[in-house]
Structures are given as C-alpha cells and as structure tokens.
Amino acid sequence: MIQEILIVDGYNIIGSWPELQRLKEIRLEEARDRLIETMAEYQSFSGMKVIVVFDAYYVPGLGGKYLQSKLPVYYTKEKETADELIERLVTVHIGRRKQVYVATSDMTEQHVIFGKGAFRIPASELLVKVRQVRQEIRRTIDTEASPKRNSFDSRISGDIRDQLEKWRRGN
C-alpha cells in the first residue's frame, strides 16, 4: 500500500484561496487557524498524511514543529524560507511506497519539487479537492442522520398487504 503525503505551503495557500485571503486581511492568525482546521478535516477524510508549513523568514526566533488538530504544523526558523523547509521535507519523505505531493502555486518551488520526485497540486486544485471532501462529508452525515423508515408495511409481503387492505375497507 502506498502512503500519500501532502505538504502544504501555508501562506501560499492562504494567499490563493479567496476566503482565506479575505480573512488574512482582517487577522492573519485566524486565516492560519482556518487553513489548519481545513487541512485536518481533509486529512481525516482523505486518508492522506498532511503537513502544513508556514514561513517565518522575517520573524525572529526558533521555528518548530507542533501538532495542531492531529496535524503536523511546521514554522520555519529565522532566515529560512518555507520553500527550503518544504524541499527538505520532500527529501525526507520521498521513498518506496510513498507518494509526496506539494500544494503550492509558486512556480519555482513546483520545478524544484518535481526534480526531487514529488508531484504538485496547485492551490486552486487543492481548493476543489477540499470542497469535494466537504460535500462527501455532508452527504455521509445526511445519509446517516436521515431517519430510517421501519414501517410494518415495508416488512410484509404483497399478498398479505392486499388482504389487510381488503379487511380495512370491509371487503
């Protein structure tokens, strides 16, 4: 069985998805949290391992790896770009029985990850996949939540149903 791994360029996706882009203008932390929540939901339903990477190039301090909503979230170190960390993660994860995808619309990054053996998913395509997963989740919930009809009428044969109907009408 092949393990599928999706590495998400966090700020690139936030800048590409209209909802997150609007949210970023109001509050960047909120956009980040929404992306993480969305990717955690996607990971749960799709079965792919998802890793989200945020660029901290201009932010002083140590980067790190955190587990948020059962999702590994990486923040780069000072003076390290998300692209550099993504390339390192691709190198670490690429291998037998593994298929690595990188979600980014950065063309330069796409060429580099191709060279390392990973596949790309443009931000717009990832948005389509996320929306499809949400629709499947809604359908599953609607199907399971709809009351199951368990009437007496559905459990008896046609002959008996006809006989009972005749008795009901007084025939």
Encode pLDDT of 8-17 as tens digits: 999 999 999 9
pTM here is 0.79
What confidence category does residue 27 fall into, taking pLDDT thresholds of 50, 70 and 90?
very high
> Phi and psi for 101 in degrees, rounded to 5?
-120, 145
What are the tokens at 72? Answer: 């590994």
Q: Report the alpha-carbon distance of residue 24 to residue 78 in Å, rounded.
A: 22
Highest mean pLDDT among 29-38, 76-85, 91-100: 29-38
Q: Report the alpha-carbon distance of residue 151 to residue 112 in Å, rounded.
A: 61
Taking only the tens place, the pLDDT of each residue in 116-165 is 888 999 999 999 999 999 998 888 887 776 666 666 666 788 888 888 88
Q: Report the alpha-carbon distance of residue 18 to residue 81 in Å, rounded.
A: 23
Mean pLDDT of 39-44: 94
Mean pLDDT of 80-89: 89
pLDDT of residue 169: 84
In 123-156, which positions are buried (b, 16+ CB within 10 angstroms) versus exposed (e)?
Answer: beebbeebeebeeeeeeeeeeeeeeeeeeeeeee
Average confidence score pLDDT of the chain: 87
What confidence category does residue 22 fall into, taking pLDDT thresholds of 50, 70 and 90?
very high
Nearest to 118 by CA among 9, 1, 34, 37: 9
Q: Report the alpha-carbon distance of residue 106 to residue 24 in Å, rounded.
A: 19
Highest mean pLDDT among 33-42, 64-73, 82-91, 101-110: 33-42
Share of the chain above pLDDT 70, in %: 91
Higher pLDDT: 23 or 77? It is 23
What confidence category does residue 49 fall into, taking pLDDT thresholds of 50, 70 and 90?
very high
Q: Report the alpha-carbon distance of residue 171 to residue 14 in Å, rounded.
A: 71
Q: How far is CA 7 from CA 3, 10, 23, 146, in A?
A: 13, 9, 22, 36
**Nearest 5°: CA angle at 101, between 86 and 73?**
45
Cβ 91 vs Cβ 84: under 8 Å = no
